[in-house]
Amino acid sequence: MVNLPSLLCVDRNVEMIKIRNYKLINKVKVLGIVLPLLLITLSMKVWADTQYLTTEQFLTEHLTSEIPKPSTLWLVKDLVKPAKKILGHAPYQLRQRYWQQGNKTAWILEEIGKVEFITAGFVVEDGKIAQVRVLTYRESRGGEVRYSAFLKQYFGAVLKENNFLSQHIDGISGATLSVRSMTRMARLALYYDALSKQKE
Amino acid sequence: MKVKVLALSVLIGFASSGVMAASIEDKIDLLQEEIEQLKLRAEQADKRSAGGIQGFVDRTTIGGYGELHYNNYRGDTPAGKKQKNDEIDFHRFVLFFGHKFNDWISFKSELELEHAIAGDGKAGEIELEQAYLDFALNNHYNVKAGLFLIPMGLINETHEPPTFYGVERNEVEKRIIPSTWWEAGAGVYGEVTEGLNYQVNVTSSLNANKFKTGFADGVRGGRQKVGKANAENLAVSGALNYNGIPGLTFGGAFFTGETGQNVNSGVDARLTLWDVHARYQKDRLDMRALYAKGHLSDAAELKDATGINAAEDFYGWYAEAAYHVWKHGEQSFAPFVRYEKWDTHADVPNNVVRNNDNKNNIWTIGANYYPHPSVVVKADYQKFDDPDGSKGDKRLNLGLGYMF
């Protein structure tokens, strides 16, 4: 005597096991592809803090082929206050090195984007931004600030009386903090350039 | 004894003065060298403070954001429903913790307290929204693994209050894209060419058995939040975005995976969700738009097995424009207007009765005032086409937000 429902039930169970096995195989397959890929990746030669340009390259490309001896700007007493206001914090360097060639000055500055430092180079000519490059970018998001389409927005910018830039800089979605950091550095470069002129 | 000491000191005195006289130039050289040494040391100290990898403090970062909301519910409510009382809510308090192990491995996390107080029977909850390891390899190819945000839409990955207009986030990126949405898994991301970024992830999936019975929020209820989550099903998600032109971002994203989680046989409930989005910020103008659509297979089977009134298709879209009418130094004031529309019952299976309350649209008008780019005071007024349940069809919202 065969109990039909229980037989059906067994069939159903077998079916379920089949589905389960099929799914398991599928999952193993996916993991089987993904995991080795990850391992291969991680064993690849790695570099994260992408250096696009060295200081020397920046200076020879954008200032002059013969790098002049660096000068030093001492941020003493009252000079540091506007810098503080521009950055929203005390400058990291109280002795700022820079290079001068004719009416051009070149500055290598560092500011935090979201959590990491961005190193950027600025050339100021006659009190106007003449060149901007990102030398090293360390954040995982926001690297778009190194694109020339973004950077050329700074060209020609001068410092207004309130130490803000004379022109609007369009931001980049997902790179808001990096953009702000670049703008702070541009303002600082212009301020420092003005100080270096006073020094002479 | 005394005489001996005196003689000795006189001798030493003669000797040293002899040396001094011999070379004042040497001494200058010595001083010069010492100055150079000091300079070098000062420089090294500067470098250290400027982000070298020395020291735990340098490698560990803290950030955060928060938002306080006040909602004043107005207007019509559905027949028999009492108007919801007005509400004040510290909606989100979030801390970011990050640590850099070396120049290519870092840890990132986001810990959130929602609605100010968590615990049994309390309004809020504590949520781990991100906690992943980032293996930065090169511009084109990087790996992340852990618990991270699904890269869909505009709000999900970038949701700090100063980055969007209006007190509350838009409804489409709550009901169609269930922001804030995170899963656990691994992914690769990078830059295809200048300005074009991709991301592909294999992660945990939603759980269809947890969708809300009415399906008014779409698949939102199915988020397992990676808390002892059912991992019978995996999902694949990805995004492609272009932001090579300053101010412009546009792109699309997808998420596809079964959500049945092997709970009811015959209910695979594959969910495929996709969106296209764009944002354009030019000078004082800030515009964004998004369209999102979802398709769920086995909606009829899911209804039979669980009673959930799931739809086969659901969609939503919105468009928004803001204009920074006033700017003064770091401060600015930006009125905005937004229109959004959605339908979580766009196409239902035969055994589900279409609910017209699952379809709605809203006009929102308001303004963001920024006393600082990272601090925002918000006010807006919302008019729903149909009453949003007991919350009514009109709403006045005030908000305060910050990020650091």
The token pair at A86 is 């521009």
CB contact under 8 A, A168 and B63: no
CB contact under 8 A, A143 and B194: no
- Going by their DSSP bridges, the two strands B234-242 and A95-101 should be labelled as unpaired
- pLDDT number for residue A169: 93
Q: Residue A47: which residues within 8 A CB-CB, separation 6 or more? A: B103, B104, B137, B138
**Closest residue on chain A to B64 (Cα):** A114
Chain B residues in contact with A19 by the CB 8 A cut-off are: 265
CA distance A8 to chain B (A): 15
SS3 of A163, please? coil
Top residue of A115, A178, A180 to mutate, by most chain B CBs within 10 Å, is A115
Q: Residue B156: which residues within 8 A CB-CB, separation 6 or more? A: B149, B150, B173, B177, B179, B180, B181
CB contact under 8 A, A20 and B262: yes
Q: Reply yes or no on whether the pLDDT at A198 is more than 90.
A: no
Q: Reply yes or no on whether the pLDDT at A9 is more than 90.
A: no
CB contact under 8 A, A144 and B138: no
Which of B51, B98, B143 is the closest to A110 by Cβ? Answer: B51
Residue type for B356, please?
Answer: N
Q: Dihedral sign, CA of B281, B282, B287, B293? A: negative
pLDDT digits (tens, 9 = 90+) for A124-175: 999 999 999 999 998 877 889 999 999 999 999 999 999 999 999 998 887 8
Which of A38, A95, A180 is the closest to B373 by Cβ? Answer: A180
Distances (CA, A) of B67 to B111, B143, B371: 14, 31, 15
- pLDDT number for residue B251: 97
Distances (CA, A) of B341 to A182, B2, B255, B383, B389: 38, 104, 21, 12, 16
Given phi > 0 = left and psi -120 to 50 = alpha, else beta, which region is B301? alpha
The token pair at B329 is 């130094």
B215/B344 Cα distance (integer angstroms): 7
Peptide bond into B180 cis (omega under 30): yes
CA distance A173 to chain B (A): 6
- The C-alpha R_g of chain A, in whole angstroms, comes to 28
CA A119 to mean position of chain CA atoms:
8
The token pair at B363 is 């006009």
CB contact under 8 A, A168 and B163: no
Residue given tokens 């709605």 in the structure block: B360
CB contact under 8 A, A174 and B50: no
ipTM of the complex: 0.70
Q: Residue B199: which residues within 8 A CB-CB, separation 6 or more? A: B151, B187, B188, B189, B238, B239, B240
Q: Would you state the torsion angle of the CA atoms of residues B378, B83, B222, B363, taken in this order, to the nearest 10 degrees? A: -40
- pLDDT number for residue A7: 46
Residue given tokens 């250096």 in the structure block: A51
- pLDDT number for residue B26: 80
Q: Residue B293: which residues within 8 A CB-CB, separation 6 or more? A: B176, B273, B274, B275, B313, B314, B315
CA distance A62 to chain B (A): 22
pLDDT digits (tens, 9 = 90+) for A66-83: 889 999 998 887 899 999
Q: What is the pTM of this model?
A: 0.81
Given phi > 0 = left and psi -120 to 50 = alpha, else beta, which region is A90? beta
Which of B49, B232, B283 is the closest to A170 by Cβ? Answer: B283
- pLDDT number for residue A115: 77
Chain A residues in contact with B284 by the CB 8 A cut-off are: 168
CA distance A17 to chain B (A): 11
User: How many residue pairs from chains A and B have C-beta atoms closer than 8 A?
Assistant: 110
Are B397 and B73 spatial neighbours (Cβ–Cβ below 8 Å)? no
CB contact under 8 A, A47 and B243: no
Query: Taking the CB of residue B239, how many other CB atoms lie within 10 A of it?
Result: 23
Chain A residues in contact with B196 by the CB 8 A cut-off are: none
- pLDDT number for residue B61: 85
CA distance A111 to chain B (A): 8
CA distance B169 to chain A (A): 17
CB contact under 8 A, A175 and B194: no
CB contact under 8 A, A170 and B247: yes
B354/B105 Cα distance (integer angstroms): 50
CB contact under 8 A, B143 and A144: no
CB contact under 8 A, B63 and A41: no
- pLDDT number for residue B42: 74
B289/B155 Cα distance (integer angstroms): 11
Q: Residue A116: which residues within 8 A CB-CB, separation 6 or more? A: A49, A138, A139, B51, B100
Please provide residue B110's backbone torsions phi and psi, each rounded to the nearest 5 degrees.
Answer: -140, 115
SS3 of A64, please? coil
CA distance A10 to chain B (A): 15
Q: Tell me the angle at which helices B2-22 and B24-49 cross, rounded to the nearest 10 degrees.
A: 80
CB contact under 8 A, B158 and A48: no
Chunked into runs of 10 residues, chain B (404 residues) has average pLDDT values of 61 54 75 78 62 64 93 89 91 93 90 92 92 91 95 94 96 97 96 93 96 96 94 96 92 97 94 97 95 97 96 98 94 97 97 95 98 96 93 95 94
